[in-house]
Structure 1
Amino acid sequence: MTAEQKISPYIIKAEPRPERYARGWYVIGNSASVTTTPRMLGVFGTKLVAYRGRDDGTVHILDGYCPHMGGDLSKGEVCGDSVVCPFHLWSWGADGVCDGIPYANKIPAKAIIKSWPVLEKNGLVLVWQDPENRPPIPEQEPEAIADWYSGEWTDWEMRAIPIQSQGRELVDNMADMAHFGPIHYSTVKSFRNTMEGHKFVQYMVGGHQILTEGDDNLLTSVATYEGPAYMTTTMTGSMDGHPMKVHLLVSHIPVDMENFIINFGVMMKKDPSLSPEQNQAMLDDYTEKNIESFHQDVAIWNNKCIIDNPLMCDGDGPIHMVRKWYSQFMTDVADIREDQVRRREHVTVEGPSVEEVLAAQGH
């Protein structure tokens, strides 16, 4: 190649980002993680307080600082359905309105803090974030997971994993077929994606060096994002000779623009031939194996750069498609375009479908 023919080096681009967090539902933990003891949430570049009312038993989330003199409400206590600031004992109701000042004759009319929309569903607690302060969009409420309510499944085994990056980097995994081999010890037999509205789905069939045994023991995976941060996956296979079906939760919540927390959860269908202790041991073992695999991703995210113009090849998955879908949640509702939400499908690797493998395995 002559000097005239030499191609200029590819230049990575990453545009500066204003502080803005995607519109949608975010998991803060399982139901057991919120009690009548106030809990601090360092999320969305600020501090919130989550607590369960003593009277109504409902989870409430408020701005975390008292506007009187800046007391930390998570260091206070719950009285009825209100949280009381430890500094001067101002009491804040579940609606964010101050409902008591022990030494005042009149409560100031401006004594209101933000009460965040909360959803408790599928054994999880979620908070709604919207940069336009709009109420939750009804059709974007996560669907019920019938298995969690059936009594035939374990509860969520949860872990919180801190990541030094932006949430979009996690969502890229939905389309990034090529990383499953080097990062997750997987061999991909088929891989396709669909998007429509607020949902993005990944269908994959493959093997796994840790989670499956033998070349014929295929693992199926259907991963679904409902909004920008709530992803559940149903996986089938076997472990230690036992048929296995699990649901995984991977829900990130931003701490700030450069850090997020992944709330990672596993629930497993109980084997009726095993004791509760044996079922729990299987769940614990499977959870640790998943986290071992997942931490390979963490090592990548904590050290990679942000890149807005990834240089793709023909074997990569539809990264641009998933980023187009994700961008709707960073766009004002009135400005969402049809190309951000219309139905699309992309097949990266053709092979046996999830449905065919499940039928062959008797699921």
Structure 2
Amino acid sequence: MTAVEDEVRHIETGPAPTRYARGWHCLGLIRDFTDGKPHQIKAFGQKLVVFAGEDGNVNVLDAYCRHMGGDLSQGEVKGNEIACPFHDWRWGGDGRCKSIPYARRVPLRARTAAWPTMVQDGMLFVWNDPEGNPPPADAAIPKIAGYEDPEWTDWVWYTTTIEGANCREIVDNVVDMAHFFYVHYSFPTYFKNIFEGHVATQIMNGVGREDVARPQAAGSDAPKNKGTSSTASYYGPSFMIDDLTYHYEDGNDVPSVLINCHYPIDENSFVLQYGVMVKKLPGLDDEAATGMARKMGDFIRLGFEQDVEIWRNKARIENPLLCEEDGPVYQLRRWYEQFYVDVGEVQAEMTDRFEFEIDTTKPNAAWRREVEENIARRNAAQQEQPV
């Protein structure tokens, strides 16, 4: 064995970035913010307040009043303004103080930070840019064709907070073909990545493992699932749209849209959100179709919970040791880096088109043998059980 072969590779952890990614971040469903009350959101290392005025516009401001530091998220919405609970200073959605009930005039410098917002497809987005630039047109997130289409359900939505991990962990999954077998119990039979501009895409077909008990996405009474086909794209650093289709033995395909999105709380924690909407099968009423979406969402939640357990216990690693079938991890991270540098520092290698398709022949052959061996051992153990 040579000295190089015998050398122990050390993990380079590196600190998590203290800067937060430039881009649109989804804070959740708009329906959860339009009740006329202020809502506290911890994001980007600070506290924000989200409120809807009487005009229906949803606003996002820094939560602490610039007067004496009162918490606006503990205040009251009055008209189109948020009133501080400390001295009743009224702040508008543009960040300007509109009135002070006990004062003759408002100071000229009475202004706080207002965050650009966007409402689209039933979701509330906030724009973050450390340089303070407005969102450019080429950072747009495409609209979802099925939203508000009567042939589709509304969102079934899930939220969970991840402590002790940077949000890069979830983005790494874009290229991680092998973890779908070990963590999510699926054979990826086709796997390809495309990165270009601000979009990173994963194209995958898969079938379930027969040696692992897995709940049916559409319920136990549904026909057996034959597999899935998925085209999932991150539009910017934190918002993924997955056109996901479940294929069943009765010949019916169930198209769905899966949203996978997150926003950072700080450098070592983030809020993970995901939602699913499903195209209604013929003969299903709204209630039954929504129930099907809920079952599918609960099934997807199991997969995310498995990911979360990994993230909470793994090491941050800057120099992963890779084999050929691990996918373009370093290329993905170069793509991801564009959101953490100033716009003027974005390099062509971060945005130029890159394609990579993994040959799944060897992994699937090895995994098929493993599954068959597991089934054989399980059957033998059952035969040895006393009657």
TM-score normalized by the length of structure 2 = 0.86
1:36-72 Cα offsets, whole Å, 9 max, x none, are 21110011110001111212x1111011111111111
- SS in structure 1 opposite 2:306? helix
Answer whether contact 2:203 2:230 (CA < 8 A) is retained: yes
Say whether 1:122 aligns with 2:121: yes
Q: Distance in 2 between matches of 1:240 and 1:310?
A: 40
Matched, 1:62 2:61: yes
| Cα deviation code 1:11-43 (max 9, x no counterpart) | 000223451001000000012111121110011
Letter in 2 for 1:168: R
After TM superposition, give the deviation of residue 243 of structure 1 in Å.
3.1
Corresponding residue SS for 2:261: strand
Counterparts in 2 of 1:63 and 1:335: CA distance versus 1, 3 Å:
same
Match of 2:270 in 1: 260
| Aligned equivalent of 1:15 | 14
Q: Which amino acid aligns with 1:53?
A: G
8 Å Cα contact 1:78-1:84 kept in structure 2? yes
Distance verdict in 2 for CA 1:6–1:265, change over 3 Å: closer
DSSP-derived class of the 1:149 partner: coil
CA deviation map 1:285-308 (0-9, x unaligned): 111111011110000001111000
Match of 2:256, SS state, is strand
Question: What is the Cα deviation at residue 86 of structure 1?
Answer: 1.1
Q: Name the aligned partner's letter for residue 13 of structure 1.
A: E
Hey, what's the Cα distance between the residues in 2 that align with 1:148 and 1:208? 29
Secondary structure of 1:206's partner? strand
143-152 or 168-177: bigger deviation = 143-152
- Whichever residue aligns with residue 172 of structure 2, its letter is D
Determine if the alignment matches structure 1 residue 331 to structure 2 residue 330.
no
CA distance in 2, matches of 1:149, 1:208: 31
Deviation at residue 252 of structure 1 after TM alignment: 0.8
Partner residue in 1 for 2:226: 217
Q: 1:229 aligns with which of 232, 238, 241?
A: 238
Work out whether residues 53 and 80 of structure 2, in 8 Å CA contact, stay in contact via their aligned partners in 1. yes
- The residue that corresponds to 1:273 in the other structure is 283
- Distance in 2, matches of 1:60 and 1:240, equals 47
Select the structure of larger CA radius of gyration.
Answer: 2
Residue number among 241, 260, 266 corresponding to 1:250 in the alignment: 260
Listed as ranges, the matches of 1:1-363 within 5 Å are 1=1, 7-35=6-34, 36-55=36-55, 57-164=56-163, 165-209=165-209, 210=214, 211=216, 217-238=226-247, 243-349=253-359
Quote the RMSD (CA, aligned, Å): 1.9
Q: Distance in 1 between matches of 2:62 and 2:224?
A: 52
User: Partners in 2 of 1:196 and 1:207 — Cα distance?
Assistant: 28
Query: Which secondary structure state, in structure 2, belongs to the residue aligned with residue 309 of structure 1?
Result: coil
- Rounded to whole Å, the distance in 1 between the matches of 2:307 and 2:113 is 35
* Per-residue deviation, 1:126: 0.5
Counterpart amino acid of residue 160 in structure 1: T
| Residues in 2 aligned to 1:98 and 1:205: alpha-carbon distance in whole angstroms | 53
The one-letter code sitting in structure 2 at the alignment partner of 1:270 is K
Query: 1:9 is paired with a residue of what secondary structure?
Result: coil
> In the superposition, relative to structure 1, how do residues 239 and 259 fare at CA in structure 2: closer, same or farther (>3 Å)?
farther
- The amino acid that maps onto 1:140 is A
Alignment coverage as a number of residue pairs: 349
CA distance in 1, matches of 2:311, 2:75: 36
Tell me, in whole angstroms, the C-alpha distance in 2 between the residues paired with 1:183 and 1:6: 30
Q: In structure 2, how many angstroms separate the alpha carbons of the residues matched to 1:270 and 1:137?
A: 36
Structure 1 256/245 Cα, relative in aligned 2: closer, same or farther at 3 Å? same
Question: 1:183-208: CA deviations, max 9, x gaps?
Answer: 11110111000011000100001113
Is this contact kept in 2: 1:161–1:264, CA < 8 A?
A: no
Instruction: Name the amino acid aligned to 1:317.
Output: G
Closer/same/farther in 2, CA of residues 238 and 281 from structure 1, 3 Å limit: farther
- What is the TM-score of this pair, normalised by structure 1? 0.92
Matched-pair contact (CA < 8 Å) for 1:29–1:263: yes
Return the alpha-carbon distance in structure 2 between the equivalents of residues 16 and 296 of structure 1.
25
CA contact (8 A) 2:37 2:77 kept: yes
Question: How far did 1:214 drift?
Answer: 9.2
In structure 1, C-alpha distance between the alignment counterparts of 2:113 and 2:4, rounded to whole Å: 60
The ranges of structure 1 where at least 4 consecutive aligned residues each deviate by more than 6 angstroms after the TM superposition are 212-216
The separation in 1 between residues aligned to 2:245 and 2:260, in whole angstroms, is: 17
**Structure 1 unaligned blocks of 5 or more:** 352-363
CA positional deviation for 1:248: 0.7
Instruction: Please give the secondary structure, in 2, of the residue aligned with 1:315.
Output: helix
Partner in structure 2 of residue 357 of structure 1 = none
Q: Distance in 2 between matches of 1:73 and 1:5?
A: 59
Instruction: Indicate the SS of the match to 2:194.
Output: strand
Check whether the contact 1:192–1:349 (CA below 8 A) recurs between aligned residues: no
Per-residue deviation at 1:117?
Answer: 0.4
Q: CA deviation at 1:116?
A: 0.2
